[in-house]
């Protein structure tokens, strides 16, 4: 398989991994998060087929902008659904000495995903969406929150770096109990270089409306600066770096 199903490409991304990055958003996700900013990436149909070679050429053209830190991030949608095609892409990028990163929801694991994670991804950003099964299901529609922790443990065992991401949703993911569980479960990993707290915002609402779907979190208020500060202070003693993204 030499093509990837792509939703869109951002040339100068600065929010999805280190440095300046070419961010490839893939089409299709196995979850349906209530707050998804890119709900049009969820359905498995659609998107455009891109040849791996074309994507590699684009990345090579971007190389002068990547600097020491930047590179290519695969986001989505859920990238690991297309792991098989990502392997040749990442091999080609590594041959050009381009840094590779995957932004995953942590719930997809199969032989291709394992090969990608173990051998080809310089960085993995894993989205810890919640800390209890019922809340995870309510927010994402998915089941099996333990898959996320298992993926984190797997990556740790490879002795390669990863970041965690956590969307802070007032009334849904910001209770003391949830944040303490987050610390208890996720702060012990040596190869976790950073946890990114992503404040909740309403930016995706119009996209849900454009799809003719109800945005179910419209009554949830965005975080106050005090709420964000509280979480930063709470997590800082336990993680190498806490970044508000
Ligand atoms: S995992 Fe990401 S792309 Fe998939 S529905 Fe959730 S937020 Fe959207």
Protein residue whose Cα sits closest to atom 2 of ligand 1: 77
3-state helix, strand, coil in the chain (%, to 5): 40, 20, 40
Protein residue whose Cα sits closest to atom 6 of ligand 1: 33
How far, in Å, from the CA of 88 to the mean position of ligand 1?
A: 24
State if residue 167 touches ligand 1 by the CB under 6 angstroms criterion.
no
- Burial of residue 4 (CB within 10 Å: 0-12, 13-18, 19+) is buried
pLDDT over 90 (residue 1): no
State if residue 27 touches ligand 1 by the CB under 6 angstroms criterion.
no
Total count of domains within the chain? 1
Which atom of ligand 1 sits closest to the CA of residue 105? 1
β-pairing verdict for 71-75 and 21-26:
parallel
For 133-180, write each residue's pLDDT tens digit. Answer: 999 999 999 999 999 999 999 999 999 999 999 999 999 999 999 999
Per-residue confidence (pLDDT) for residue 204, from 0 to 100: 86
How far, in Å, from the CA of 7 to the mean position of ligand 1?
A: 13
Mean pLDDT in residue range 79-86:
98
Mean pLDDT in residue range 9-29:
97
Contact by Cβ (8 Å): 243, 195 = yes
Token reading at 128: 């810890």
Domain that holds residue 207: 3-244
- pTM for this prediction: 0.96
Q: Which of 75, 33, 78, 35 is nearest to 203 (CA)?
A: 35
Protein residue whose Cα sits closest to atom 3 of ligand 1: 77
pLDDT over 90 (residue 71): yes
DSSP character string of 143-208? --THHHHHHHHHHHHTT--EEEEEEE-TTTT-SHHHHHHHHHHHTT-TTEEEEEEEE---TTHHHH
Q: Which of 149, 56, 49 is nearest to 94 (CA)?
A: 56
Per-residue confidence (pLDDT) for residue 203, from 0 to 100: 84
For 89-112, write each residue's pLDDT tens digit. Answer: 999 999 999 999 999 999 999 999
Choice from 27, 29, 79 to test ligand 1 binding pocket (greatest atom count within 8 A of CB): 29
Whose tokens are 């990608």? That residue is 116
User: Can you give the CATH number for the domain in which 197 is found?
Assistant: 3.20.20.70
């Amino acid at each position: 398989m030499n093509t990837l199903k792509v939703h869109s490409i951002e040339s100068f991304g600065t929010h999805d991994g280190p440095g300046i990055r070419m961010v490839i958003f893939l089409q299709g996700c196995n979850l349906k998060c209530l707050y998804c900013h890119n709900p049009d990436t969820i359905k498995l149909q659609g998107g455009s087929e891109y040849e791996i070679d074309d994507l590699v050429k684009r990345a090579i053209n971007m190389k002068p902008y990547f600097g020491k830190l930047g590179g290519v991030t695969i986001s989505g949608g859920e990238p690991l659904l297309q792991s098989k095609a990502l392997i040749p892409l990442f091999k080609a990028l590594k041959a050009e000495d381009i840094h590779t990163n995957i932004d995953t929801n942590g719930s997809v694991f199969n032989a291709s995903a394992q090969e990608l994670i173990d051998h080809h991804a310089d960085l993995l950003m894993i989205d810890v969406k919640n800390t209890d099964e019922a809340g995870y299901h309510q927010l994402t529609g998915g089941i099996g929150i333990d898959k996320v922790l298992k993926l984190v443990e797997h990556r740790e065992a490879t002795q390669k770096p990863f970041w965690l991401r956590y969307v802070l949703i007032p009334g849904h993911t910001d209770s003391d109990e949830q944040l303490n569980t987050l610390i208890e479960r996720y702060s012990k990993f040596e190869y976790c270089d950073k946890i990114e707290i992503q404040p909740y915002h309403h930016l995706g609402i119009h996209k849900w409306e454009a799809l003719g779907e109800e945005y179910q979190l419209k009554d949830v208020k965005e975080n106050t600066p005090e709420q964000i500060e509280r979480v930063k202070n709470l997590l800082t003693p336990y993680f190498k770096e806490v970044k508000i993204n």
